[in-house]
Chains A and B, each alone.
Chain A
Amino acid sequence: MSIDIILCVPSCEGPVRKAFELTGVTAAVATSPRLNEIAALEGDDGFAGAVVDATTIAFTDAMSLCRQLRGRERAISPIILILDRYQMDELTFREDLFDDFVIAPADATELATRLRHRLRRAGHDGGASLIEQGGLTINLETYQASIAGRTLDLTYMEYELLRFLATNPNRVFTRETLLNRVWGYEYYGGARTVDVHVRRLRAKLGEEHAHLIQTVRSVGYKFGPNSNWSLGE
């Protein structure tokens, strides 16, 4: 997973710097809102987002920068503004130019939270937060799994087992491997525990989806949304 680079105009000091540290992103600082200076900073992966401080450059320049960042071929999103309170009125009819804002003086925690949230929404969190396989949806952020729209009530180990299998579809895992990878510690249940949990998961998935977890005779289990299935015990 590469570290996201966030464009920062015109500086990255104090609470902004702190917020970037909290979020775990790197700043690329353009000291002026000029596009060619910005383009020179841009790496192959582009920018994962931008923070524009409209309190230290002219407000109209800030707005025009946002418009340009949005309009160019590699459009930048999310864009977060730092504003003085009185500038909020100016945002009317410019809602399309930014994704979020904080009021100066920026609070590092608030900015970090908004940044993280927006990066997530934009899919810049370094990995998909949704697993979707054969009617099964697992939201890795909220730990909620659903099948054909019906939310599943899972225990933690059931959730972990399902997540592991669904992340590696069509791969066969032995009970031993599953115990090591999912449980990850000495467990009194022994290898049969995997069978017990698979049985529980199938029951919760319901009859028409139980085949998502397939028994591979004398080997173990695999998650198979599409292939031919059997429910051997």
Chain B
Amino acid sequence: MQSQAQYVLRTVEERGVRFVQFWFTDVLGRHKAFHVTPAELADALDDGMTFDGSAIDGFSRVQESDVLARPDLTTFQLLPWHAEGAGVASVFCDIVQIDGTPFDGCPRQQLRRVLAGAHERGYTFYVAPEIEYFYFHSLETSGAPVPVDRGSYFDLLPDDDASQLRRRTVLTLEEMGIGVEHAQHEDAPGQHEIDLRYTDALTMADTVMTVRHVIKELARQSGLAASFMPKPLSHEQGSGMHTHLSLWTEETNAFVGDGPYGLSTVAQQFIAGLVHHAAEITAITNQWVNSYKRLVPGHEAPVNSAWARFEPSALVRVPTVKTGRLESTRLEYRAPDPAANPYLAFAVILAAGLRGIEGGYELPAEGSSAAPLPRSLAEAVALMEGSALLHETLGEHLVTWFLRNKREEWASYRSEVTPFELERYLPLL
């Protein structure tokens, strides 16, 4: 710990860092930051930063409002787009109680807990998400957003701008040590995808936060805007965050075996756990009203709890493994969207899979649906409320707050009169 602090302080001095951003996320996965000057840094590293949790959604009840953001120094990183000599660095924080005990409202802490539980059983959980998003000309909400690469008549920008921007983003991520497997244009106009190389789930949750920030920041610098909204355009495919999963014991992939498609019993039970609990965890992996506009038939998004080898609308897919690359055996969970809180999403996905292993769940037939996925946030929230798995995994504090927040979101959506209704009914009725 001492040498880590030394490393951070010395690097700040050597590299002319002017601000260190203490990064953390609220329950909904929104990215928050304190900006700490070098003069304050030594104290802040030792003691953390106190803040009023009730000022930020999701943190703390009124009676315990002060909490502490404590930096995880292993995550200290210079942000490459700031100029040398006026540098900015970031470090992820855990939120703890003033007395230093874990705080249940901290998503990073919750993921840590689930990972520690898996670790006790000898498992390490690795994930690799594919992050889809859109580049728009702006995020003005007065009309439908305009994708950047549908060359329309008044466009000043050549069609290629988005691809160049995406390439620059990938290079920046690589510079930050974030491994990108590949990046590509997606189906919808303006839609792009960046596939990340696997890491352990905690590192990856941090990475997803960083990647979202970098994508948005570089788009902004180019005078464009990026959005992770799950379904921004009515008649186009939405943005998902298909997540590849594997469990390891020591240096062995625990999913490799001699069952169907080269899967071990552990892998089959993990799939069974996912399929069985999918509907309950969907409120976490797809947490917005808008998320459910993506989970509709016809756009390769899952609508049922089924697993399959190839079927692109399956919830769990078993990707083909190249000959001689058995260690890359993995599952792909296709429900999550990139607007989820990655800490909580990875936590509940792992918890669902582990439940399957512990309970010795039977793998259902390929392609058969265990249950439909919820069709709206209201359905998802109702399923979450009744879920013992979620209450145990995330704790009462977080679940209670989340349910209350999401019911409010649904209530205000429900009372809204939409353009759909006006267009369809006003002239007619």
Residues of A within 8 A of B365 (CB): none
Q: Nearest chain-A residue to B250 (Cβ)?
A: A191
Provide the residues of chain A in CB contact with B15, threshold 8 Å: 144, 151, 153
- Which residues of B89-120 are within 8 A (CB) of A? 112, 115-116, 119
Stretch at the interface among B140-148, B176-184, B256-264: B176-184
Q: How many residues of A contact B (CB 8 A)?
A: 26
* A156-B124 contact given A188-B200, A203-B179, CB 8 Å threshold: no
Give B122-157 as 1s and 0s: 1 = Cβ < 8 Å from A's Cβ atoms.
001010000000000000000000000000000000
Residue of A nearest to B328 (CB): A233
- A residues less than 8 Å from B179 (CB atoms): 196, 199-200, 203
Q: How far apart sit A156 and B77, CA to CA, in the bound complex (Å)? A: 9
CA of A196 to CA of B11 in the docked complex: distance in angstroms? Answer: 23
Q: Does A142 contact B (CB under 8 A)?
A: yes
* Residue pair A201, B126 in contact (C-beta under 8 Å): no
Q: Which of B68-76, B294-302, B330-338, B418-426 contacts A (4 or more CB under 8 A)?
A: B68-76
Choose from B73, B126, B175, B198 the contact partner of A156 (Cβ within 8 Å).
B73
Residues in B whose Cβ lies below 8 Å from that of A188: 112, 115-116, 119, 124, 200, 202
A18 at the interface (CB under 8 A from B): no
Q: What B residues does A203 contact at CB under 8 A?
A: 174-175, 177-179
Residues of chain A within 8 A (CB-CB) of B178 are 200, 203
Of the candidates A143, A156, A199, which one forms a contact with B14 in the assembled complex, judged by CB atoms under 8 Å apart? A143
Name the residue of chain B whose CB is nearest to the CB of A190.
Answer: B124
B40 within 8 A of A: no
Distance in Å: Cβ of A153 to nearest Cβ of chain B: 4
Interchain CA distance A185-B4 in the complex, whole Å:
14
Q: Would you call B197 an interface residue if the criterion is a C-beta within 8 Å of the partner chain's C-beta atoms? A: yes
Which residues on B sit within 8 Å (CB–CB) of A176?
A: 251
- Asked whether A155 lies within 8 Å of B200 as measured between CB atoms, the reply is no
Chain B interface residue bracket vs A? 35 or more
Question: Which of B124, B177, B179 gathers the greatest number of chain A CB atoms within 10 Å?
Answer: B177
Q: Are A156 and B8 in contact (CB under 8 A)?
A: yes
Q: Contact at A142–B14, with CB atoms within 8 Å?
A: yes
Q: How far is the CB of A4 from chain B (nearest CB, A)?
A: 23
Kindly state whether residue B407 has any CB partner on chain A within 8 Å. Answer: no
- CB contacts (< 8 Å) of A157 on chain B: these are 74
Give the nearest-CB partner of B4 in chain A: A156
Contact of B177 (CB < 8 Å), options: A142, A175, A200: A200
Find the B residue at minimum CB distance from A141.
B10
Please determine whether B124 and A143 come into contact, CB atoms closer than 8 angstroms.
no
| Proximity bits, B59-75, A CB within 8 Å = 1, else 0 | 00000000000000111
* Chain A residues closer than 8 Å to B34, beta-carbon distance: none
Q: Is A84 an interface residue (CB 8 A)?
A: no
Q: Pick the contact of B7: A153, A156, A190, A191 (CB < 8 A).
A: A156
Question: A156 and B74: CB pair below 8 A?
Answer: yes
| Contact yes or no, B251 A143, CB < 8 A | no
Question: In the assembled complex, how far is the CB of residue B111 from the closest CB belonging to chain A, in whole angstroms?
Answer: 10
Interface string of B9-36 (1 = CB under 8 A from A): 0110011000000000000000000000
Q: Which residues of B contact A191 (CB under 8 A)?
A: 124, 248, 250-251
Question: Is there contact, CB below 8 Å, between B14 and A144?
Answer: yes
Q: Quick check: is B199 within 8 A (CB to CB) of the other chain? A: yes
Can you name 24 A-B residue pairings with CB atoms under 8 Å?
A142-B10, A142-B14, A151-B15, A153-B15, A153-B175, A155-B75, A156-B4, A176-B251, A186-B119, A188-B112, A188-B115, A188-B124, A189-B124, A189-B199, A191-B248, A192-B126, A192-B198, A192-B200, A193-B199, A196-B199, A196-B200, A199-B179, A201-B177, A203-B175
